[in-house]
Amino acid sequence: MGSISATQTGLLVAPFENSILPTGSVLVPVMYQDKTYKCKKSEGPKGGFREFLRHDLDVSRLTDVEQHLWWAGMRKAARPLHRQVMMGRGVVITEQADLHLTWRGSRIYIKPLPGYLLDADFWDRNICPDSGLFESAKGFLLSYIWLVFNESDFQMAMDNSDHPRLLPEGITYQEWCSFIVDFMKGYDFEDIEQINPRYRFGELRLNRLNSIYRIKFGTQHLIRGYFYDYHEFGTFLEENFAWILTFFGYVAIVLTAMQVGLATKQLVDNDAFHDASYGFTVFSIASPLVAVGVIGLILFITAIDNIIKASNHERDNIRPEKQATNDLGVAQRRDSLGV
C-alpha cells in the first residue's frame, strides 16, 4: 500500500503514538505577538489554535526561496548540539520558526521545542486537519531529532545555565529515546515523508539568506534582506564594513613599499614603475572618499527606510479615539487662527 499523501487531510494522524509530555504541562502560551508585534490570544474565538499555530510554525519565507536554499545550506541533517558547541557556536534562542537552525558567525538561532508538539491528542485536534500545518510541525519535530539524540545533546538541551531550556521540563532521556523510535518508525532521515521542504535542509547561513533575498526580490528587500538584526548604526558598520580597515591597511603597506622602491637604483628610472606608483597613489586618495560616500549613502537610505516604516506603523496602528482627539485638536487650532 502506498504512503498517505499530506493532502489527504482526513487521513493524517499524529506522527507518534505515545505522548511524553508530563501531565499538567502548559501546551501553548496564553498570548503571542504576530508579525506586526500585535498581542493576540493564542486560543481563537471558537476554541481552536489554528491561527497561533500557523504563526508559530511559519517557514513560508524559506519555502518561497526553496530552489535557492542550496546556496545557504546543504540537504542533510543538522549537526547535533554537541557538534555545534565543538564548532564554537553559541545558542541564541528565537521564537521564529523561520530563524530556527540559521547561523551567523559564532551564533546559531534555535527555537525551543513547543510542548504541544509532544502531545498526540493536540496533534489530532489542532494540527492534523491542516496538511500544510502538519508538514511544518512534523518537519520542526524532525529538526529536534537531528539536534538531540546523544545523551550529551539531551543534557545540553535541558541545561538552562547559558540559555533557556530547549526541551520541555520533566522529560527523561529514556523517554526521549523512546519518542525518537516512535517518531521515526523505521524511516531513514532522508526518506521521511510529509515534511515541509525547508526541513530537507539542516543549518542555513544567514548572510547568504540575506543575499538570496536581496537578489531575488530586489528593492523590496535590498536594505533588510532576510533578517535584519542591527539596532544601531555602529553595529551595522562593524558587521559589514570591518573589512575596509584591512583593505586600507594593505594599501598603506603597498604605498610604503612603492616609496622604498622609488629610492632604489633598479626602479628610480623605471617609467612603468613610476606610472604604477602614480596610479596607485591617486587610487589610495580617491578610494577612501568613495568608500565614505558609499557608506554614507547606505546609512542615509537605511535611515530613510527606518523613518518610513516607523511612520507607516504609527499611521496603521494609531487608536481611533486618539485619532479623533488629534483631529479635534487640529480643528480647534484652525478655528482659533480663523482658518
226-245 residue pLDDT tens? 987 666 666 666 666 677 77
Is pLDDT larger for residue 58 or for residue 191? 58
99 Cβ contact partners less than 8 Å away, ≥ 6 residues apart: 109, 111, 227
Is pLDDT larger for residue 97 or for residue 301? 97
310-319 residue pLDDT tens? 787 677 777 6
In the prediction, which pLDDT does 319 show?
65
Residue 63 has pLDDT above 50, yes or no: yes
Cα gap 210→226, rounded to integer Å: 5
Instruction: State pTM to two decimals.
Output: 0.75
Domain ranges of the chain: 9-218, 233-331
Cα–Cα nearest to 97, from 150, 146, 133: 133
Which own/partner pairs from 61-67 qualify as long-range (CB within 8 Å, at least 24 positions apart)?
61/98, 61/226, 62/98, 62/198, 62/204, 63/196, 63/197, 63/198, 65/209, 65/212, 65/213, 65/216, 66/197, 66/198
Q: Kind and range of the H or E element at 260?
A: helix 243-262
Mean model confidence pLDDT for the chain = 85
127-159 residue pLDDT tens? 999 999 999 999 999 999 999 989 999 999 999
Sheet bearing 204-205, strands edge to edge: 90-93, 107-110, 102-104, 204-205
Per-residue cell: 97: 520558526
Cα gap 136→70, rounded to integer Å: 19
